[in-house]
Amino acid sequence: MLCGQRGPLPPHTRAAYVWATRIPNTPAPEIKIGDANYIPSNQNTAVPVEVPDTEWKYLQRARAWTLASADGRKLPVKVIKLGNQRSIELNLQNAEVPPADYQLSAFWDWQSFTAKGHIYVRPLSDFGQTRLMASSQDLLVSRTGKVPVTLEGNDFEFVTKVEIEKLNDKFAAPLVVPFVLPQGVRQGPQDKMDVQVNTIDMDPGQYKLIVTQVDGKTHNVDLKILPAPPRIANLPVVLNQGVSKMEFTLKGQRLDLLKRLELARGSAELGMVSADQTERPLRLKMAKDIAPGTSLALKAYTEGRSEPLTFSDAVRIVGPQPEIVEARVSQPVDQDVQLEGTELPGGMYLSAMMRVRHLQSNSVVKLGCAGQDSPVVSLRLGERKGALSFQQLTADQVFLSFDTGEWVNGCVLGAIVANGSEGESGSYPLGRIVRVPKIEKLEQAEAAPDANEFRASLTGESLETIEKTGWREDEGVPVAGIPLAVPGEATKQSLEIRLPPPPDPHAQLYVWLRGESKARATKIHP
């Protein structure tokens, strides 16, 4: 031991002082560097260490700490023992320690010792290349809840806090969001970081992530909270085999967000969206050789998303569309009032022969007035309803019987054949229904007071349809009276008419139906 007198000095004596390092009186400590051994340049950083308890007690007596690089350089650093953390603090704030891998050494007594493990000095990131992964950006949809996303592009190992804040909103305040590093803080370079963003209360718009590192400085990373994706409610589009072009109206919500559509074996062109974004025209061009039963997906590219949305079974190819090629309607041979070639007598049972391409066992014929809100009579192939019938005769020929009394006067009756999912044929016009009177006989009344007047009575049905009568097609006399029921006859009527005398006994009676300007010939003679 070095000893000296502690009491008062004798006269004529001067004291000499010697400064010396305290001798630890224990072996050099065995230090093992812990896992969080990556430290940032120019910062004070606590590094966990493993030291036996008896040696940890005297660790502060180590001196002359240095960081030694692989090329032999030894850089002095300040090291402080942090007793309550079982860590040592390396102060690099004022030390010129370039990023590299180092070993930590110090002197114990007059001997050097080296800690086991390495100290890795790395620069702090500037986050200039940081971005959201494209797939992560697509997940950030407004008001959907907690969404895990991934940042990439820089080293995130020194991140200590992440916040999110809406841009261009003076009332917005940063909100802390949880984050996870793959290996943990200061445990090696990590070029990705997972962040959980809760979008439940977030409106669509521009936001920023505020990333803080161990130096307390913040860095901004831009991102978007996307609106809810567009919704299409009326898919699939059904196309018949061989149809190469089709115009269709998409219906749904937020259709303005659609930027481009892609379709296998065809192309899709979008039109202008409606004011409320619920309807949008779509023009399809398809290959003609697509087999029936094929289902095609539609890829929709939308605003703000890197990957398209996929609508499966968006276009469905079905069998050929039925087509009515020909229809011949039978006319009653005993018709009293002349009908034109395209006219059908009202209130009668008629029959028709039709040729239909692509007829199927599930085909249905639909009869109705073109362009009018009128009753539609439907019959399945092979079905009979009393006098109504729809029967197949050959592969493309059918027989149809129907009652024109189902529809109003003036109805342009059309036939449509439907084949289930294959769709419907175009409407084939069968004729215009005209309600004409049935005249059974004409009886001359008693001699008229005026020799220039011919008085007679018509007997028949539907006589109320007659507005004028005459012996010539260019000269008619208005009917003054109205039909009267014939006693004992449920449907029979009689109608009094007054005309000029017939020019000869074989003259032909003409009638004008109500609402018509042209006369119709009858089979009635005086």
Residue-wise pLDDT tens digits, 487-526: 888 889 999 999 999 999 889 999 999 989 999 999 998 8
For residue 5, is it within any domain?
Answer: no
Strands 428-434 and 343-345, sheet pairing: parallel
Mean pLDDT of 282-293: 91
Q: What is the mean pLDDT of residues 158-164?
A: 96
Confidence band (pLDDT; 50, 70, 90) for 432? Answer: very high
Which pLDDT score, from 0 to 100, does residue 3 have? 64
pLDDT of residue 337: 87
Among 1-10, 72-81, 235-244, 416-425, the least confident range: 1-10
The band of 21, judged by pLDDT with boundaries at 50, 70 and 90, is low
In the chain, % helix, strand, coil (3-state, to 5) comes to 5, 50, 50
**Residues 381 and 333 grouped into a single domain:** yes
The answer to whether residues 367 and 405 belong to one domain is yes
Mean per-residue pLDDT of the chain = 91
64 in a domain, yes or no?
yes
In order of 227, 232, 277, 323, 370, the CA distances from 253 in angstroms are 12, 7, 6, 35, 33
Residues 283, 260, single domain; the answer is yes
Q: Look at residue 448 in the predicted model and tell me its pLDDT.
A: 61
Q: What is the pTM of this model?
A: 0.65
Number of residues in the chain: 526
Q: Which of 236, 419, 240 is nearest to 317 (CA)?
A: 240
Q: pLDDT at position 241, please?
A: 86
**Same domain assignment for residues 492 and 409:** no
Chain centroid, CA 518 distance in Å:
57
The pLDDT tens digits of the residues spanning 107-149 come to 998 889 999 999 999 999 999 999 999 889 999 999 999 999 9
Domain boundary among 316, 350, 384: 316
127 bridge partner residues: none
Residue type, position 389, single letter: S
Which of the listed residues 225, 254, 270 is the one where a domain comes to its end?
225
Whether 53 shows a pLDDT value over 80: the answer reads yes
pLDDT at 23 over 80: no
Burial label, 447 (beta-carbon count in 10 A; 0-12, 13-18, 19+): exposed
Distance CA 311, CA 296 (A): 9
pLDDT at 1 over 60: no
In terms of domains, do 108 and 178 share one?
no
Residue 176: pLDDT band (50, 70, 90) is very high
Q: Quick check: helix, strand or coil at residue 56?
A: helix
Instruction: Tell me how far CA of residue 412 lies from CA of 331, 335, 407, in angstroms.
Output: 16, 20, 9
Domain-located, residue 41: yes
Closest CA to 323 of 353, 359, 365: 359
Among candidates 409, 401, 343, which has minimal Cα distance to 372? 409
Say yes or no: 110 and 69 in one domain.
yes
Average pLDDT over residues 372-381: 89
Are residue 204 and residue 217 in the same domain, yes or no? yes
pLDDT for the residue 4 = 66
Q: What is the pLDDT of residue 5?
A: 67
343 and 413 in a single domain? The answer is: yes
Joined tokens for residue 248: 């269709």
pLDDT the model gives residue 304:
86
Residue 38 within any structural domain of the chain: yes
CATH of the domain at 193: 2.60.40.650
Domain count, the chain: 5
Q: What is the distance between the alpha carbons of residues 359 and 321, in angstroms, rounded to a whole number?
A: 9
Joined together, the tokens standing for residue 465 give 């349809």
The string of DSSP codes covering 243-266 is --EEEEEEEEE-GGGEEEEEETTE
In DSSP notation, 311-352 reads EEEEEEEESPPPEEEEEEE---TT-SB---TTEEETTSEEEE
User: Is residue 13 assigned to a domain?
Assistant: no
Query: For tokens 């031991």, what's the residue?
Result: 1
Q: Write down the pLDDT at residue 489.
A: 85
pLDDT band, residue 403 (cuts 50/70/90):
very high
Out of 117-131, 263-277, 445-459, which region has the weakest mean confidence (pLDDT)? 445-459
Question: In this predicted structure, what is the pLDDT of residue 54?
Answer: 86
Residue 269: the pLDDT is 95
Predicted local confidence at residue 347, as pLDDT: 87
Q: Is the peptide bond before 48 cis (omega within 30 degrees of 0)?
A: no
Distance CA 360, CA 362 (A): 5
Structural domain of 117: 32-122
Check residue 288 and give its pLDDT. Answer: 87
Better-predicted residue by pLDDT, 15 or 76: 76
For 389, counting Cβ atoms within 10 Å of its Cβ (0-12 exposed, 13-18 middle, 19+ buried), the class is middle
Torsion of CA 443, 447, 448, 450, to 10 degrees: 130
| Strand order across the 245-253 sheet | 231-232, 245-253, 279-286, 266-270, 258-263, 295-302, 309-318, 237-240
357: domain CATH number is 2.60.40.10
More confident residue, 4 or 97: 97
* DSSP per position, 159-183: EEEEEEEETT-TT---EE--EE-SS
- Domain shared by 369 and 450, yes or no: no
DSSP string, 418-478: E-GGG-BPPPEEEEEEE---EEEEEEE-SPPSSTT-EEEEEEEE-GGGEEEEEEETTEEEE
The domain spanning residue 61 has which CATH number? 2.60.40
Q: Are residues 260 and 213 in the same domain?
A: no
The answer to whether the beta carbons of residues 401 and 383 sit under 8 Å apart is no
Same domain, 328 and 302: no
Which of 298, 316, 334 is the endpoint of a domain?
316
In a domain, 166, yes or no: yes
Q: Is the domain of 258 the same as that of 174?
A: no
- Is 16 a domain residue? no
* Portion of the chain with pLDDT greater than 70, in percent: 98
| Domain contains 113 | yes
